[in-house]
Chains A and B, each alone.
Chain A
Amino acid sequence: MNEQPRLGAHSTSPLRGEVAPEAREGVGSSTSANVALPPHPGALTRSDPPPQGEGVENLRHIRKPLPHDSGPKHVQGVAQYIDDIREPEGTLHVAIGQSPKARGRLISLDVSAVRAVPGVVAVLTAADIPGKNDVSPAFGDDPLFVDTEISFLGQALFAVVATTRDTARRAVKKAVMEIESEAPSITVEDALERGETVLPDYSYGRGDPDAVIAQAPKKLEGQFRVGGQEHFYLEGQVALAIPGEDGDFHVYSSTQHPTEVQHVVARVLDIPDAYVTCETRRMGGGFGGKESQATQWAVTAALAARVTGRPCKLRLDRDDDFTLTGKRHDFRCDWKVGVDEEGRIQGYAVDLLARCGYSADLSAGVVDRAMFHADNAYWMPSVHIASKRLKTNTVSNTAFRGFGGPQGMLAIEHVMDQIAWVTGRDPLDVRYANFYRPGENVTPYGMEVEETDTLVNLVRTLEETSHYRARREEIAAFNASSPIMKRGLALTPVKFGISFTLTHMNQAGALVHVYQDGSVHLNHGGTEMGQGLYIKVAQVVAEEFGIAMERVRITATTTAKVPNTSPTAASSGSDLNGMAAKIAAGAIKKRMIAYASEAYGVPEEQIEFRDDRVFIGNQSLAFDELAKKCIAARVQLSEAGHYKTPKITWDRAKGTGRPFFYFAYGAACSEVIVDTLTGENRLLRTDILHDVGRSLNPAIDIGQIEGAFVQGMGWLTTEELVFSKEGHLLTHAPSTYKIPVASDVPAAFNVALYPNANREETIYRSKAVGEPPVMLANSVFCALADAIHALDPEKPVPLNAPATPEAILRACEALRGRPMG
């Protein structure tokens, strides 16, 4: 195959009459009805030969666009979130007392006036903690309540437990404290100056990029800033802890990581893990914000329940949620690159300076992942990827969909544009020139990119279906005659590594019971935050037993049924839990087959489960009849399945290995218009082609892609976190922090799935979808830069993220040669 196959090579005839299931079901493209669109020929007709061992599919549930299992409940307001659970009589409510200073020492804390408020039952401080004063996920540096050292403005000093939430919130204000404060570190530069980090610096690479860049025909360097992002899950952090017998606790927590909540509650209360059950039916959004940082609120509620002996609930007010919980890390990326005349990278060096906040939290992995995506899809012969995990006196930054990957990837996309501006080539051609290709397919961390053709083919297809070249010309003509309004276009690729980079986390468990009436109880370690994990795993189980979806009862995630789980994160939910559930259901099915084979004297291979029946040679019986017979014959119809991802290895000390099972790919083409007098802008059209392998549920996957894209667009445009010098987060609620609204999404929003069976043996050859599409929004950022570039094609565009109207106007005025003050 050529290095860059032409579109015609695979766009002519469907192989073996296979049509993408999403096309068959009519949901493969989300094109709105009133927009006429070209079809995505690639999406409809392209089809690699299925991997070995996978024949013609005959599937009842898998690949079907089933609606979210809770959809009808959502629309009626009957889907239960934790704050909706009817509280046991006597439930108390908890509010957090926060530090008014960002850095210093707590000299004294007088809560007597708080205790005196009618309705206040208890006030909790560090002194009330029976176990360890630490709610951190790993590094032991997140106190539940400040003992002496204050690390950020808003940090929890104490908690008030009262008969109503209103009473608790009002009583908080009565505390009297003395703080010896000092000037806080707020910015990357503050931290660099103080030389404070939360974890050691880390780097890897190959060759001698400094020398290569010095000798390259063209060399460029710059400093690029990428902003953070507030999760803004619609359901704020909440937990309800109910004391039971013998000092045990049942904790309802809106968490992506029930096992960690269980473990940390036990650690702080000094009780065994077995005395704590954590249950999560659903979250009103998570996005990483409830991976490690739901824990503190659940632990506080449990401590309150322990001290008072009564059920206790803690629901953060939205402003408190903004102040008290971490965000996406913001970065300063110091980069330099050497390229040849064609814009091909010869050497690249980048220092990723991450603002981690006051503690390590998940910054080890987040910044590693930023490093793992500093190459995105591009071959770098000589490369050095370095990172610093800077400590600032701000809330501890945490997981956010993409987990550092988006920041690292945006930096190299920005560099691609810089190369295009200096070489005068089309930015897309610069990207093509740098894609991984056979023989030039090893990442800076030593992992081989095995499917080098997938992304190139995908991008070629999107280039065609989005009419990139024709629109490029049309836009140039428009800009030539429009002095104030400028349009911009960009097509950017995504290559995203799938697996937790902490190898041991790549495991999952599921518990399946078949009952005598043929109904099936399904439980697994993954949590539902809206992403449709529960329905996907239920599809897997229903498929395995050949039964109707209605027979599968989806049940709330709980540490009592499936223990020792990993967080639902890293896009891994359906890969891991789907496999675990398939293994569990498969084991039960195997025992049922063994029984039927013996009872009916039919070879096992002649027994088939489908259409809610079991076909045994020439006869058949209903699924539930076989279940009854199995029970009578003392066959176990319950199984705990366990799955661990194969193939992955990672030697962090050496900076080499295969940290990812596989890569997910995608590309987006976006067009914008910019008002160069104000910086105001609109996204006019976006075309997306994304690789989810062979989709488990195309409706759910399209929803993930669209939602992630819009969330990424918000991150790169209107979502701006502003801290004051004193450490106050000034954008602390939706009134001041602006996520996208409906009108920010273009009418021409064309999303299609790229059928491309996963070459690895994942669940039904699908690929993970949660995070990768966030980075499709890089196309919006690059399109905005492209529009500004039209003001003066001789100059690079000094645009940082987020590209707010202010950031855009600043860049425009710079290109006009009248820098904004």
Chain B
Amino acid sequence: MVRETIRFWRQGRAVEVSGFHPRTTLLDYLRLQERRVGTKEGCAEGDCGACTVALGRPRGGRVHYEPVNACILLLGQIDGAELVTVEDLAVGGELHPVQTAMVEAHGSQCGFCTPGIVMSLFTLYHEGQRPLIREAVNDALAGNLCRCTGYRPIVDAALQACGEQPKDAFSANTEQNVQGLTMLADGQDVFVGDETRFFAAPASENSLATLCAQHPDATLVAGCTDVGLWITKGMAEIEKVIWLGRVAELDIIEETSDMLGIGATVTHADAHPSLARIDPDLGELMRRFGSWQVRASGTVGGNIANGSPIGDLAPALIALGSELELRHGDATRTMPLEDFFIAYRKQDRVPGEFLRRITVPKLKVHEVFRAYKISKRFDEDISAAMGAFKLTLDGRRITEARVAFGGMAATPKRALATEQALVGLSLDEPSSWGEAMAAIARDYQPLDDHRSSAAYRATVARNLVFKALSETASGETRATRIIGQRDALQAAE
């Protein structure tokens, strides 16, 4: 059976929509069709958060809320979810606790970012860890730009309102909302449109494989945090969209004692805890990955499959020795992750083929991992350079090395000359590290761009080799890091 509509839950009832253009964003649907204009467009590229709305999905007997950027989310992607917008929070003229806190803390000035901030705080109100600490609030707000207040009153409002057990109309109606959402989860393939223009959301991997084979020209979308910009900024004439978000088999994390298997549609938010258990640096990398909104929508598979030369995850996963599994029709194949990236924005994937799974080996005893994201701004930025190191030790000597960088070449790429120079080095002889630091210049000829100059990239990469060696030698990071100090991260775990 195929369903020709999308269905979502809104204000306690099911809403069914059909006949929309596959490119329709959730924001345009809200503002132009529903005429609910509380949700704002600030940038139309998922960076400012003015368009933040909450999506709820059933998890563990309750509704799990996550913030998303409506500007780059396709309308079809809210199928099966509860949609909550800023207009829904106040009940009978009474403000929601996060709204009251924002007013009382003087948390709005021009007010344009405020609806998005209120919605991020709404999700924090429901999902935040308790006790709530300032750093967690900052993380929750990393995807919400405010140009007026300087954030201090907003953070105060969050600390004041979001630290308690939730007690609002949504927590009161949990049961009803879970029931509603469960009723919507029908396991049917969704296909809105016709053979020339459609939004499709297959519910199984086999349906997906069939659909991909029929429409090799269709655009595959998981979180849409990148493709969304092709639409809003590139004005891409995308007519056929296959959304992977309902394919149950791809949204699975498998874990054994020596590896982690991440299904292609697992979101960054969901993958974060498992990756953090491999190494604290990987956890810190995930914390700084985009924003909460982006991590809630974007997927590990999408970040790899889109082949960005500056994707944060690929260098780390290459250094760890990860493998990909792809499927085309009924055939599957696997390859080392680094081989997937052929050239700038070109990957080893044929039309109709899709990514199934990423396998990440866990660290063994005697293996040390370090990852460094270097960006203009610490949070919610794309790296100028991203370096990852896996060093195998025999006592105080390096016996094997895997090093990969992003931002240094047209693709995420291993630093083979550096790896070679690292092998055999003693951690106790810093005077001997110079050759490995210099080798980076043979591995990469980075470019100038708006994120940084080639000279900066080259210098930073060289210094990161030194930093990785220093930290491996000393076993600590307090003297070498401003944020993401491993002892602090481990203590927080």
Contacts and interface: CB of A to CB of B under 8 A. Distances in A.
Interface in B94-136: 95, 98-99, 102-104, 106-115, 118, 134-135
B374 A711 contact: no
The range of chain B's interface size is 35 or more
Interface residues of A, number: 92
A284 B111 contact: yes
A733 B376 contact: no
Contacts of B458: 821
Interface in B153-205: 153-156, 159
Contacts of A804: 376, 452
A195 interface: no
Contacts of A733: 43, 45, 47, 233
Contacts of B87: 76-78
A72 B118 CA distance: 12
Interface string A44-88: 000000000000000000000101101111111111010110100
Contacts of B118: 75, 77
A739 to B, nearest CB: 6
A738 B48 CA distance: 10
Interface in A221-280: 231-236
A482 interface: yes
Given A68-B108, A682-B483, A319 B233 contact: yes
B313 interface: no
B377 A744 contact: yes
B63 interface: no
A235, A681, A708, A720 pick with most chain B CB within 10 angstroms: A235
A71 B37 contact: no
Contacts of B365: none
A745 interface: yes
A743 B111 CA distance: 20
Interface stretch (A336-344, A571-579, A672-680): A672-680
Contact of A530 (B110, B141, B460): B110
Interface stretch (B143-151, B325-333, B342-350, B414-422): B143-151
A718 B377 contact: yes
B279 interface: no
A591 B476 CA distance: 77
B90 interface: yes
A235 B42 contact: yes
Contact of B150 (A71, A233, A711, A809): A711
B481 interface: yes
A530 B103 contact: no
B38 to A, nearest CB: 2
Interface stretch (A27-35, A134-142, A630-638): A27-35
A329 interface: no
A693 to B, nearest CB: 20
Interface string A777-806: 000000000000000000000000000111
Nearest to A170: B235
A76 B86 contact: yes
Contact of B374 (A72, A530, A731, A805): A805
A77 B110 contact: no
Contacts of B146: 234
B304 interface: no
Interface in B19-40: 31, 35, 37-40
B138 A79 contact: no
A525 B41 CA distance: 28
B159 A33 contact: yes
Interface stretch (A8-16, A513-521, A699-707): A699-707
Contacts of B490: none
A678 B110 contact: no
A113 interface: no
A77 B115 contact: yes
A68 B15 CA distance: 36
A376 B10 CA distance: 56
Interface string A282-293: 111111000000
Interface string A726-744: 0000110111101111111
Contacts of B106: 65, 67-68, 71, 699-700, 702-703
A673 B452 contact: no
A820 B482 CA distance: 22
A505 B113 CA distance: 32
Contact of A33 (B47, B50, B113, B156): B156
A709 to B, nearest CB: 6
Given A75-B99, A735-B47, A744-B378, A673 B482 contact: yes
B447 to A, nearest CB: 12
Contact of A72 (B95, B148, B455): B95
A733 B42 CA distance: 10
Interface string B435-446: 000000000000
Interface stretch (B210-218, B254-262, B316-324, B379-387): B379-387
A369 interface: no
B40, B112, B149, B456 pick with most chain A CB within 10 angstroms: B112
Interface in A174-216: none
Contacts of A72: 95, 99, 103
Interface stretch (B74-82, B244-252, B462-470): B462-470
A747 interface: yes
Interface string A575-590: 0000000000000000
Nearest to B151: A742
Contacts of A67: 103-104, 106
Contact of A709 (B89, B98, B111, B150): B150
A318 interface: yes
A558 to B, nearest CB: 19
A105 B375 CA distance: 39
Contacts of A73: 111
A810 interface: yes
B100 to A, nearest CB: 8
Contact of A75 (B102, B145, B464, B466): B102
A117 interface: no
B226 to A, nearest CB: 11
B112 A678 contact: no
Nearest to B87: A77
Contacts of B35: 86
A318 B111 contact: no
B397 interface: no
A70 B111 contact: yes
Contacts of B156: 32-33
A530 B480 contact: no
Interface of A: 30, 32-34, 65, 67-68, 70-79, 81, 83-84, 86, 169-170, 173, 231-236, 282-287, 317-319, 482-485, 529-532, 673, 675, 677-682, 699-700, 702-703, 706-711, 718, 720, 722, 730-731, 733-736, 738-745, 747, 749, 804-806, 809-810, 813, 820-821
17 contacts: A68-B111, A75-B95, A75-B108, A86-B35, A284-B110, A530-B112, A673-B482, A678-B464, A703-B148, A711-B150, A720-B450, A736-B451, A742-B141, A744-B379, A806-B452, A820-B456, A820-B459
Given A738-B377, A741-B151, 4 more contacts: A71-B106, A75-B103, A75-B118, A317-B232
CB-CB nearest 9 A-B residue pairs: A77-B38, A530-B110, A284-B112, A74-B111, A710-B150, A530-B109, A730-B450, A77-B86, A734-B47
